[in-house]
Amino acid sequence: MARVAIVTGGSRGIGRESAERLASDGFAVVVVYGGNKDEAQAAVDAITGRGGQAIAAQADVADEQAVAAVFDTAEKTFGGVDVVVHAAGIMYLAPVAELDLDRLDRLHRTNIRGTFVVDQQAARRVRDGGAIINFSTSVLGLALPGYAAYAATKGAVEAVTLVLARELRGRDITVNAVAPGPTATALFLDGKDEATIAGMAAQPPLERLGTPSDIAEVVSFLAGPARWVNGQVLRANGGIV
């Protein structure tokens, strides 16, 4: 029987690449999407077209009933849940002095409450021997102007990750966070001019932006062979910090 992974934010970017990578590793995958059913179905089709197993499921990650229903679906369809990759998130950029507080509330709801809700279900329902993988950001260490609200939400993600790893003692479940650096996704590229992008690409010693597949490689590692990596934040950023 295949191991089963739930991937939130699985219809695009790092989430989609992670879903496809886990499917190629032999996981049956539940691709969780927020609003774009067509993109989620395209991710499913890409996986099944290569002989993998996948279904799409819609959920607002901050809605505990919707998230519980996703886990129900995974259990009914594939028999259980072994890995949860929580890649869903939103980002608004503005200096502290200028940020619209409604946007702060939306960041909090999706990035903090959403992580807590997904992790709560994962803590209750991931099978022994599984893995929970959250997403932080390397911006937390870089402290870039304009990123205060977003980085603050990811600081909360790291706190939840490290505590949950210890709360799951005795179940052989690892809990880690991946903290990408600048990665060429729509979320990152949106609103940035070429000079800004070129400047960020020049920062790592490897002198390029990360790619979604670079991050999916780390997810694959944490979801599978990395059984002795637990309660950690893995900064996948080409060596910026």
The token pair that represents 230 in the structure block:
């637990």
For residues 217 and 91, give the distance between their C-alpha atoms in angstroms, rounded to a whole number. 23
Tell me the CA distances in angstroms from 60 to 36, 66, 69, 195, 236, one per residue in order.
12, 7, 11, 35, 27
Catalytic residue among 33, 92, 147, 150: 150
DSSP readout, 212-230? Answer: HHHHHHHHHHHHTT-TT--
For residues 220 and 216, give the distance between their C-alpha atoms in angstroms, rounded to a whole number. 6
For residues 131 and 15, give the distance between their C-alpha atoms in angstroms, rounded to a whole number. 16
What is the 8-class DSSP label of residue 127?
Answer: P
Specify whether the CB–CB gap between 223 and 25 falls below 8 A. yes
Phi, psi of 157 (to 5 degrees): -60, -45
Q: Is 150 a catalytic residue?
A: yes
Helix (H, G, I), strand (E, B) or coil at 146: coil
Helix (H, G, I), strand (E, B) or coil at 91: coil
Name the residues annotated as catalytic.
150
